[in-house]
Amino acid sequence: MKAHDGIYLDGAWRPALSGEVIDVVDPVDEQVIARVPAAGAEDVDAAVRAARAALPGWAATAPAERAARLSALRDALAARKDEIAETVTAELGAPLAFSQAVHAAVPIAVAGSYADLAARHAFEEKVGNSTVFHEPVGVVAAITPWNYPLHQVVAKVAPALAAGCTVVLKPAEDTPLVAQLFAEAVHDAGVPAGVFNLVTGLGPVAGQALAEHPGVDLVSFTGSTAVGRTIAATAGAAVKKVALELGGKSANVILPSADLAKAVNVGVANVMSNSGQTCSAWTRMLVHRDQYDEAVELARTAAAKYGDRIGPLVNAKQQARVRGYIEKGVAEGARLVAGGAEPPRERGYFVSPTVFADVTPEMTIAQEEIFGPVLSVLRYEDEEDALRIANGTVYGLAGAVWAGDEAEAVAFARRMDTGQVDINGGRFNPLAPFGGYKQSGVGRELGAHGLAEYLQTKSLQF
């Protein structure tokens, strides 16, 4: 596994001033596979200064030229798609087929979508006797998580570049290698020096320095609600824009008229995908009391199929956290019907696909984000009860509704306090806005709404 021993700064790989390194560990066998620089505050400052210097030229670049660079970036990523998949598998532990289908393919599609948007977005409009200009916000600090390590990078960097912003990226310390591959692709795409900069480092050091830096105009962060709060407070003190994609505890609501077997099977697959390390995962399955026992049995059977098909969690801390939640579920009286806290293998950060029945809405496992392959199945009495349970957490990121009649599902979905709802298994749409209500975040990613986050408006009156 090759790794750069520098940070990508002002168009070149340069040694980090800190001199410190981060070990990158394969979560399947717990072996160190690479080392990357642990950038410090001085490195962050150099990267922000490079982004600041490059901003006037890039902001003044015609949208068609920015679109051309993004098209070239998409092509450079596509040329590396096999290497991307293998790298994500090595540092995150995702099965190779999943890395190919999701971790490599989705970000390539998203990069392409922003090449198209950059070319056709109306960066100016007439409103009465005014002309309104949509201008780049400025220097963007992009702080990304490890769970979808390339997708989250592209979902921030591509719209920022399309808008005419310059960027400093601080990827998660667990998965920095695919971010280095991304920097190589940016370089090959002919993006001018300083427009994109990469600093690998620890969140409390490099991430904090980036969020606090006076030369940063917008902080875009994806991660836990706890860290999001800290970043929002820091940015708020400096009157700085933020875009926050935070936690979730999404409800999968199965109405009595739904195809129960399909709804349960797709619901289990959704939670087990990426080993449950998905902020939008439907971790609460809500089933009518008359269908509850059948649904639990279907979920048990479905979970058993995932035994050897899901990868490990990203690290030992995450494994311990998820096991702790499983133990808490048992202690609070939920009924374990599949999996459990015992690791299925002696080596690697694995957790068994786990299903809990007899979960009540106030239990910890029904309220807090676990971020592992753990499903809670809750019963409801009627539709109003289902809605109360679905909306009864501090989160509001995603969700699903299943019904025999699409209009019935839509009517329920409209009453859910959440940013994105899939109707009867609706497919992922890279152009649809993604983001949360309540404590799931501020702002939206993907598509035109994602581009708008990186623009600010100026009006000229005539």
Exposed, middle or buried: residue 333 (CB in 10 Å: 0-12, 13-18, 19+)?
exposed
For residue 399, which of 281, 276, 266 has the smallest C-alpha distance?
Answer: 281
Catalytic residue status for 279: yes
Q: Measure CA 102 to chain center.
A: 12
Q: What is the dihedral of CA 51, 54, 59, 60, to 10 degrees?
A: 180
For residue 95, which of 360, 251, 308, 324 has the smallest C-alpha distance?
Answer: 308
Distance CA 48, CA 57 (A): 15
Active site residue: 86, 279, 369, 408, which one?
279
Catalytic residue status for 165: no
Active site residue: 212, 245, 408, 445, which one?
245
Contact 22, 205 (CB under 8 A): no
For residue 9, which of 206, 163, 195 has the smallest C-alpha distance?
Answer: 195
Cα-based distances in Å from 212 to 140, 165, 187, 222, 235? 12, 18, 27, 16, 7
Exposed, middle or buried: residue 119 (CB in 10 Å: 0-12, 13-18, 19+)?
middle
Contact 215, 32 (CB under 8 A): no
> Angle of helix 260-272 relative to helix 292-304, nearest 10 degrees?
40
Cα-based distances in Å from 178 to 92, 113, 350, 405, 431? 10, 20, 22, 43, 23
Question: 3-state DSSP helix/strand/coil percent for the chain, to nearest 5?
Answer: 40, 20, 35
Contact 223, 143 (CB under 8 A): yes
For residue 174, which of 314, 311, 279, 39 has the smallest C-alpha distance?
Answer: 314
Those residues whose C-beta lies under 8 Å from the C-beta of residue 301, and which sit 6 or more positions away, are: none
Distance CA 106, CA 303 (A): 25
Contact 318, 286 (CB under 8 A): no
Residue 21 one-letter amino acid: V
Residues carrying an active site annotation: 245, 279
